[in-house]
Amino acid sequence: MKTTMQKFRYYKGHKQVLSVSTKQSIKPFRKGTNPMNLSLLEIAKAVHAENNISKSFANQKITGVEFDSRKIKAGNLFIPLNGQRNGHEFARLAQENGAIATLWSEKSTQAPSGMVYFQVKNTLLAMQQLASYFLAKIKPITIAITGSNGKTSTKDLTASVLSTTYKTYKTQGNYNNEIGLPYTILSMPDFTETLVLEMGMDHPKDLRLLSMIAKPDITAITMIGESHLENFGTRKKIAKGKIEIIDGLKPQGELIIPSDEPLLELFTKNVSQKITTFGFTHSSDFQAQIIQEAKNYTSFSLNFLEGEFHLPLSGSFYVKNALIAAYIGRKLDVATFNIKKGLEEVQLTPNRTEWLTRADGAEILSDVYNANPTAMNLILEYFRVLPTSGKRIIILGDMLELGKKSKEFHQELASLINPETIQTVILYGEEMKNLAKILWEKYPQTKVFHFSKNEKQELIDEAKKQIHPHDMVLLKASNGMKLSEVVSALIEHDRL
């Protein structure tokens, strides 16, 4: 029986993983079934503790790591981080909840009596160092995924495919920054075989830091959009920031990028690791072709695997994300039928694109976690051609962090919004007023509504009036606009 490690010998240093049977898949583990296998002495060495740990405690092991004192369980290590309040203030509460040890960077105060402490210069840095140590000890095959849009669903799809065959752990929720990524690593059970990490980016050098912590074997960039233009200035600089994901990529690792993004070519010319492209065109190294697309599913074929594949999701953007997941699955020797199973049974992180059906028959497409011009255009192109027996209604909120071009980006959405395909438009936020002014020239004023950010309740009231049985409604905005509250209000209204 051929094993994945035999096929992919370049993953040096990994412990031997289970052989992959083509007849029976291995059930994924459940989170939290195994305590962390780290001794206090190991922690002291990993974080370069400035104080000595008593020999009587050195071999004692912790059961997990938490930075929220309210979530501490017996035997945990508490990591006090500084935010709006100094995390060290909660060390006593963490001890009361069962923490046996803590990182400590305060010079003027002491750790609680009876609690083992590791004196460090910076607790966040020490947390990151500990995560790198733990990852090197467990040696899972590590996949890192980033992108302006689609990184969370790609993470979910990839983990779903790999979990059919390997003991797989993934980033929970959106824990994808300098705190969330090391926390994810330190939360994985010590028998993890594949680890799928989502990596977010707000500023230059963010991805370099995360990549250097994780030292991934495979990295993927889903797309380059306009998110965080306010911080980066141009898409070219965003692409430069995204390519930093390879800074920690192992020498024999692989970078996966979209074939239709020329900006990435500028920054990959001197990359020594293997580069593979994906997309819908023949110029892509691995490709997908959509066979059928409906409201709740998409079927497609792949040029590197036989058969027809199905997603319980709709939209070409999801097929691209599934393409990455399927390729990684094949690369790690997951059987084709298990790749199909993983894609068909994927469970997406909540608050991403989700269809909800009200009792009166109205269908709500909620996509309120993130928004940028590229993502907004994709969802509008998809939504405006969906078949419906009622009206198509859109509720759009501001796209944030677009910098100087924000007005222009909001106005450009008008090209995809017409009375023939979308009958009612409800806009929310100060930036969306720029779009409203254009649409008032195309629509009767009774079909286009605009509400400022402090008029959310008025928006909800109007939406309830406009939505009738069998209508189809799209809600999309940046997460900061909190349109999830509007979604909840519309669904709760239906239950009264």
Are 368 and 479 in contact by the 8 Å Cβ rule? The answer is: yes
Q: What are the angstrom distances between the C-alpha of 53 and each of 44, 78, 414?
A: 7, 16, 64
Q: What are the angstrom distances between the C-alpha of 188 and each of 135, 153, 160, 184, 195?
A: 9, 20, 16, 7, 8
Per-residue pLDDT of the chain (496 residues; tens, 9 = 90+): 333 333 333 233 333 333 333 333 334 444 444 568 899 999 999 999 999 888 888 889 999 999 999 999 999 999 999 888 899 999 999 999 999 999 999 988 999 999 999 999 999 999 999 999 999 999 999 999 999 888 999 999 999 999 999 999 999 988 999 999 999 999 999 999 999 999 999 899 999 999 999 999 999 999 998 777 778 888 899 999 999 999 999 999 999 999 988 899 889 988 999 999 999 999 999 999 999 988 888 999 999 999 999 999 888 889 999 999 999 999 999 999 999 999 999 998 876 778 888 888 899 999 888 888 988 998 999 899 888 999 999 999 999 989 888 999 999 999 999 999 999 999 999 999 999 999 999 999 899 999 999 999 999 999 999 999 999 999 999 989 999 999 999 987 544 4
Query: Which pLDDT does position 70 carry in this prediction?
Result: 94
Please indicate, yes or no, whether the overall pTM of this predicted structure exceeds 0.75. Answer: yes
Using N-to-C axis directions, what is the helix angle for 373-383 and 316-331, rounded to 10°?
A: 110
Query: Which pLDDT does position 461 carry in this prediction?
Result: 96
Query: Which pLDDT does position 11 carry in this prediction?
Result: 31
Question: Which residue ranges form the domains of the chain, and what is each CATH number?
Answer: 4-27+140-344 (3.40.1190.10), 38-128 (3.40.1390.10), 354-495 (3.90.190.20)
Query: Which of 366, 357, 421, 418 minimizes the C-alpha distance to 396?
Result: 366
Query: Which pLDDT does position 414 carry in this prediction?
Result: 96
Query: Which pLDDT does position 180 carry in this prediction?
Result: 96
